Amino acid sequence: MSQTVETHAGSPLTLLSEDEEMFRSSVREFAEGELRPRVEEMDEAGKLDPALIKQCFDLGLMGIETPEAYGGAGAGFFTAILAVEELSRVDASVGVFVDVQNTLVNNALIRWGNEAQKQKYLNALSSAQVGAYALSEASSGSDAFALGTRAVLKDDLYILNGRKLWITNGNEAEIFIVFANANPEAGYRGITAFIVENNFAGFSVGRKENKLGIRASSTTELILEDCAVPKENVLGEFGKGYKVSIETLNEGRIGIGAQMIGIARGALDAALHYTSERAQFGKSINKFQGVQFQLAEMATELEAARLMVYNAARLKDAGKPFVKEAAMAKLYSSRAAERIASQAIELYGGYGFVKDYPVEKFWRDSKIGSIYEGTSNMQLQTIAKLIIGGK
């Protein structure tokens, strides 16, 4: 059976303004009241509940940073991070659904879109349409610039051909940020970002992956077969797609960090709840010092991860350098989430290994954190490069 648990783990409330704390509370109420009852069914079905998607739009969660002029909430990046964390504490699939919309798709359009693109697409993304970010390919993962998708200009259309893999929100999305090389002779300097709608001729969504974790979140293949994209749908400058991708993903990594601390919080909350109720040798197991020390280690690691994620988000909002801090936050929080969720399973004993209880899902969901939006090795490479360079 799925459990409803209170938040015991605490949070650094002194870091939040009154408005931020009110926002956090409202998202938590939604997560507990509307999301939690659906988690088990969505995980088993491998699909988000459409009614829940609509509620995310109705609550303004799909355009948190988007300026009010384009139908969004006009809040800061940190506010989006709070939403991803609170949702992921209950279900990381919904957490990443909201995260990709805000930190990748909306973010790219806000920063790189022209006025006509913002008017058309940001309004739609704030009110009803889901977005997705399509960079990865079969031979282009960590080496993002090795992508093989090509774009050729014919009259007023770019014709795109290629296949994309591991695209989050692929089944739900109607608007895609797609990267293709429009000048292969120039190497990565030919990579260009395009805004692609799911009804464009030559565009289709392929196979949905059957995943270990975040199962309700759709991860799909995209198929581009002579996909016709209007010339005006180039996002940013021609040949500057590499810059769009790098700078957007730098911010997206903080969003994944928020997802990971949400998972870790959910696992710790569940462990605290269970150890206070589970009795052995005549007393609850949280009365034993060995268990207390394990819980203390989990809480300490979570707090460190949370503060790293919050710090990176605050730096981004302040317009200060944050790339190193974002890489560190993603690296550490993904490791912390996996360790905390694994320890929660052990504290549950045999019950932790079955799907009647929530902690096995937290562990399954945590594993993706070391893989997507930059593997842990890529984060280490970024960190090393910046600290050795003295930045």
CATH classification for the domain delimited by 13-130, as one of 2.115.10.20, 1.10.940.10, 3.40.1380.20, 1.10.540.10? 1.10.540.10
The third-level CATH classification (topology) of the domain covering 132-239 is Butyryl-CoA Dehydrogenase, subunit A; domain 2 (2.40.110)
Predicted pLDDT at 143: 87
Q: Where in the chain is the domain with CATH 2.40.110.10?
A: 132-239
The third-level CATH classification (topology) of the domain covering 243-388 is Butyryl-CoA Dehydrogenase, subunit A; domain 3 (1.20.140)
Q: What residues of the chain score a pLDDT lower than 70?
A: 1-14, 391
34-93 tens-digit pLDDT: 999 999 999 999 999 999 999 999 999 999 999 999 999 999 999 999 999 999 999 999
Predicted pLDDT at 391: 56
Residue 34 appears among annotated catalytic residues:
no
- DSSP-derived letter for residue 35 is I
The Cβ of residue 1 has, within 10 Å, a number of other Cβ atoms equal to 7
Q: Where in the chain is the domain with CATH 1.10.540.10?
A: 13-130
State the DSSP string of 20-73.
HHHHHHHHHHHIIIIIGGGHHHHHHHTS--HHHHHHHHHTTTTSSSS-GGGTS-
Among residues 86, 137, 360, 373, the one annotated as catalytic is 373
Predicted pLDDT at 1: 43
**Nearest CA to 224 among 207, 206, 241?**
206
Length of the chain: 391
Rounded to whole angstroms, the Cα distance separating 53 from 293 reads 40
Rounded to whole angstroms, the Cα distance separating 102 from 132 reads 10
Rounded to whole angstroms, the Cα distance separating 285 from 280 reads 6
Predicted pLDDT at 141: 84
